[in-house]
Amino acid sequence: MVLIDGKAVAQKVRNEVKENVQKDNFIYPPHLAIIRVGDDPASATYVKNKTKASQEVGIEVEDIHLTECTQESLENLIENLNYEEIVDGILVQLPLPSYFDSDKILNLINPKKDVDGFTDINMGKLFANKECTVACTPAGIMRLLDEYNIEIEGKKVVIVGRSNIVGKPMAALMLNRNATVTICHSKTKNLKKECLQADILIVAIGRPKFITADMVKEGAVVIDVGINRDENNRLCGDVDFENVAPKCSFITPVPGGVGPMTVAMLMKNTYEAMKKRYE
């Protein structure tokens, strides 16, 4: 069993971005605007981590924290940022408070500045296998697989979870690399049977230790996207790591697996957005 070191690969990606920013020496450094609405503690932590990582690689961050905000004022803010020449990337930290139309908000972002890859235009291009900005977590997973030379073409990939953030873009990326893909969700019948067919099993459902050893075939690659708290309040994933790991050829830990890659790919997407502006 090989433990996939997300921290090491993420640091490699960040170093690449930092070197590129220094080498290109554009008039302005890459500029990322992060919008956070409300006082959700988890969102505050995520923004803090993204800001720190961005600054370390030479990306300027505009941290826009709105304690209270209407749908209309948030829409106006995004429209203004779309026209702001020095802003290369716009990120709306999710989840937004429930009274917002999140889908409308995300799709107001100029697709060229959509560093999260969540707009319908970028998602559509991804499924059409055209050049686009890819959602950070799925892009990070692909980078991990490539770094460890894990073959994708012709493999049976099972994705547990169908969110627009992970499951659906993950499926498109795998299809574009000639994998055979199954997406499972809460209505899937006989989930265990589906999971047991996976050469590569990707789990993103937000349920602690949900995938057990009897659901994973010998020699499978297991990618755990979940970040949860167990009964002892310790961080854990969607996979019962301790019991599943001995069956795997490769597996990501939680923490230290997929998580660091999400932030690293945000850095990469922001740099690429700036670079395209100068092309």
- pLDDT at position 208: 94
CA distance 54 to 42: 18
Q: Does position 25 have pLDDT exceeding 80, yes or no?
A: no
**Within-domain flag for 153:** yes
For residue 27, what pLDDT band results from cuts at 50, 70 and 90?
Answer: confident
Q: What is the CATH number of the domain that holds 76?
A: 3.40.50.10860
For residue 126, what pLDDT band results from cuts at 50, 70 and 90?
Answer: very high
Tell me, yes or no, whether 146 and 90 share the same domain.
no
**Within-domain flag for 17:** no
Instruction: Write out the residue range of the structural domain in which residue 82 sits.
Output: 26-110
The answer to whether residue 50 is catalytic is yes
Catalytic residue among 88, 93, 114, 168: 93
Decide if 127 contacts 121 (C-beta within 8 A): no
Tell me, yes or no, whether 91 and 143 share the same domain.
no
Average pLDDT on 254-275 reads: 96
Q: What is the mean pLDDT of the chain?
A: 95
**Within-domain flag for 74:** yes
- pLDDT at position 219: 98
Tell me, yes or no, whether 156 and 104 share the same domain.
no
Tell me, yes or no, whether 87 and 39 share the same domain.
yes
Catalytic residue among 50, 113, 125, 155: 50
CA 68 from chain center: how many Å?
27
Decide if 61 contacts 50 (C-beta within 8 A): yes
**Within-domain flag for 21:** no
Catalytic residue among 88, 114, 116, 199: 116
| Phi, psi angle pair for 223, to nearest 5° | -115, 115
**Within-domain flag for 116:** no
Tell me, yes or no, whether 151 and 204 share the same domain.
yes
The answer to whether residue 187 is catalytic is no
The answer to whether residue 146 is catalytic is no
Looking at the 3D structure of the chain, how many domains does it have? 2
